[in-house]
A = this chain, B = another copy of it.
């Protein structure tokens, strides 16, 4: 499944926290900021929920698969060539990490943010180093009035859980992460 351009898979997705779902919650850790109500399972569905569906969930975060914001053409091609696709049933582990960045971050201009994102924090480089073992999807929620700006979603096999922890440590110790205001790290095990 290499080389597929995931930007073409646009659309809105709902991340549903409740008692049932295809991903069983292993742990929910508040890394920064206000916590999120604990749930025992998470489901991800294309589209938005109706009012009845919403009322039976502890929380729902909607977010969009959207265009890449910081990659250059060279990086975009490199990522497309080396990235794994999510949705492979062999990936028994997942992580959902919703993130909110500070007003200071968003007040910066694009080039100022890119400098911190990549030149200082090597976000794309670090991601690329793990692209062959950790499948990744980035969902945007900032323009949706959600409490989080992004929902980051990762899938991998249990054998790469330690590598995923290392990637998280790398990112969290970066200059970019000084602008993270809220972050919840939800670890998941496939349950379907």
Contact = CB atoms under 8 A, between A and B. Distances in A.
Q: Say which size band chain A's interface belongs to.
A: 20 to 34
Interface stretch (A36-44, A81-89, A141-149, A176-184): A141-149
Number of copies: 2
Given A142-B66, A143-B66, A143-B144, A110 B107 contact: no
A109 B143 contact: no
Contacts of A192: none
Contacts of A73: 109, 111-112
Interface string A48-73: 10010000000000011011111111
Interface of A: 5, 7-8, 11-12, 48, 51, 63-64, 66-73, 76, 103, 106-107, 109-112, 114, 140-145
30 contacts: A7-B106, A8-B103, A8-B107, A11-B145, A12-B144, A48-B145, A51-B51, A63-B143, A64-B143, A64-B144, A64-B145, A66-B106, A66-B142, A66-B143, A68-B109, A68-B110, A69-B110, A70-B110, A71-B109, A71-B110, A72-B109, A72-B111, A73-B109, A73-B112, A76-B109, A110-B110, A140-B143, A141-B143, A142-B143, A143-B144
